[in-house]
Structure 1
Amino acid sequence: MKKRLVQILGFLISSLGWVFVLCTMAMDYWRITQLGGQGGSFIIRVAWYWSNLWKDCFTDSTAVTNCRDFPVLWTVTPFVQGVRGLLMCGLTFGFFAVVLCFLGMECTFIGGADKSKDKMVFAGAVFHVAGSVADVAGYCLYINRVARTTFAASVGPGVLRYDLGPPIFLGLVGCFFILLGAMFYAVTVFRVICPESKVLYANQGGTYMVPRSRGQTYTGYYGPSLQYGSYLGSGSSSSKISKLSQTTPTKISERDAFV
């Protein structure tokens, strides 16, 4: 029951994170700057320049917006093209991650046996992490480009100093949710995928046990009367028992007994 609740929580958090990232692809005001707006006259003139991944726009004080769509695919500004590619790559990873985790969750009755379902959940968590890293790289690339112009000592004529808009922060929060959900998934199946090694000893007539390694288990009995051992392989249906070397007392000749 506890495993189910953790997986459901991870599914909700990671799905919410992907919704945030997907929304940022269509949102405006990735970067924005304001011109004018200073007092001193009865008419305050102000204008906003803003951009997203698809267009550059200008909004004046009368709320009239004029936009210029970015040109065809191969003539887009390189850093914008890179951000688009990273975000779309991350969303692709996220799609496969959501499907794998949904099929592998314990509360769903599809996906096969428990062992295969746990592997699917673990694979989905890996896809979540990969997609989140790709998205973070895209956002960081955009932030770096804006920050380089904003904090530059001098810029050329006509170059504006932009500020970061809400979609950047929403996307970073979404990436954090994705990583948190992937962590919840991994916690529920990590012990099953990578079991701990345990060695048990007993002094007298006990058992020495080593956990399964590469599909094999060795069990041997030792003590004062150790005579037999058994080797069990996962691929064999029956165990082979081999008798260990056993020393037998030699017969003492009559001449040696007399001496």
Structure 2
Amino acid sequence: MPHMATEIIAFVLGVSGWVLVSSTLPTDYWKVSSIDGTVITTATYWSNLWKTCVTDSTGVSNCKDFPSMLALEGYIQACRGLLISAVSLGFFASIFALVGMKCTKIGGSEDTKAKITCFSGLLYILSGLCAMSGVSLYAHRITSEFFDPTVLEQKYELGAALFIGWAGSSLSIIGGAILCLSLNDSIKKARISYSYNGVKSVRSAHTSRQDQNNNRNGQRGIPRHFDKNAYV
């Protein structure tokens, strides 16, 4: 596969992952109330990083925003910070990727563009790791409370936003890794071209020496025509 096509595929994967991660922030269902062990359910409780809501049997939802950021539980604050960091890193990674890709006309020389592309890949990887850490932390809290027999409050299950976050973070990491490999490809191509030019120059020098030797030998082997008086 051509190098430019590989960069385009990696860029599409990275941007797709960043979009999915960004969509998890406003998504409602980070955790949904479990119906395990209940016979009649009259309401559904769900919440995300910003609010908690309840939906009755008629489909009407009543939501309540978290009153204070400092009064929140630690894991929610950590998830907010990690997800916001992931979105910011993915945004800058997309900009650097556009500058460093070979299909664009900006970014300077080929070596400079390769380094910028590798840097954007690192940002995509960091973005994916931040998003995966935040989503996994939230999921761990849900599962630990679900399987804890001492917790008598309403138990929750994993919401759709967590699966979207895992998918987006995976795509960002994969796209970033492919972009980082583009620097190795550029280094290999530079080495191959350098070695090829070196061999070519050596061959040309050897050929020129052979030509010089042939000319000298030809000059030595030219028959000389002497006058008859030279033999007297």
Query: Structure 1 regions of 5+ residues with no counterpart?
Result: 39-43, 199-208, 210-259
Question: Shift of the alpha carbon at 1:46?
Answer: 2.2
Equivalent residue for 2:87? 91
Equivalent pair of 1:34/1:47 in contact (CA under 8 Å): no
Identical columns (%):
33
Taking the aligned partners of 2:28 and 2:186, their CA distance within structure 1 comes to 45
Where 1:68 maps in the other structure, the secondary structure is strand
Question: Shift of the alpha carbon at 1:183?
Answer: 2.1
1:107 pairs with one of 97, 103, 112:
103
Q: TM-score, normalised by structure 1?
A: 0.69
* Residues 190-247 of structure 1: CA deviation (Å, up to 9, x unaligned): 133578989xxxxxxxxxx9xxxxxxxxxxxxxxxxxxxxxxxxxxxxxxxxxxxxxx
Q: Does 1:162 align with 2:141?
A: no
Question: Shift of the alpha carbon at 1:154?
Answer: 2.1
List aligned pairs for 1:11-30, cutoff 5 A.
11-30=11-30
Give the counterpart letter for 2:165 in structure 1: G
Question: Shift of the alpha carbon at 1:52?
Answer: 0.6
Taking the aligned partners of 1:183 and 1:126, their CA distance within structure 2 comes to 7
Mark the CA change 1:109 to 1:196 in structure 2 (over 3 Å): closer, same or farther.
Answer: closer
Q: Which structure has greater helix proportion?
A: 2
Give the counterpart letter for 1:15 in structure 2: V
Mark the CA change 1:110 to 1:195 in structure 2 (over 3 Å): closer, same or farther.
Answer: closer
1:141 pairs with one of 137, 141, 150:
137
The answer to which of 176-185 and 100-109 deviates more is: 176-185
Question: Shift of the alpha carbon at 1:47?
Answer: 1.1
Equivalent pair of 1:37/1:46 in contact (CA under 8 Å): no
Query: Structure 2 regions of 5+ residues with no counterpart?
Result: 193-197, 199-232
Give the counterpart letter for 1:139 in structure 2: V
Equivalent residue for 2:70? 74
Equivalent residue for 1:174? 168
Question: Shift of the alpha carbon at 1:45?
Answer: 5.0
Mark the CA change 1:150 to 1:104 in structure 2 (over 3 Å): closer, same or farther.
Answer: same
Question: Shift of the alpha carbon at 1:187?
Answer: 2.4
1:49 pairs with one of 31, 45, 50:
45
Taking the aligned partners of 2:30 and 2:38, their CA distance within structure 1 comes to 21
Equivalent residue for 2:226? none
Taking the aligned partners of 2:7 and 2:77, their CA distance within structure 1 comes to 35
Equivalent pair of 1:119/1:193 in contact (CA under 8 Å): no
Equivalent pair of 2:20/2:165 in contact (CA under 8 Å): yes
Runs of 4+ in 1 over 6 A off after TM superposition: 194-198
Where 2:63 maps in the other structure, the secondary structure is strand
Give the counterpart letter for 2:137 in structure 1: L
Q: Which structure has greater strand proportion?
A: 1
Give the counterpart letter for 2:49 in structure 1: L
Equivalent pair of 1:34/1:46 in contact (CA under 8 Å): no
Equivalent residue for 2:221? none
Q: Does 1:31 align with 2:25?
A: no
Mark the CA change 1:194 to 1:152 in structure 2 (over 3 Å): closer, same or farther.
Answer: farther
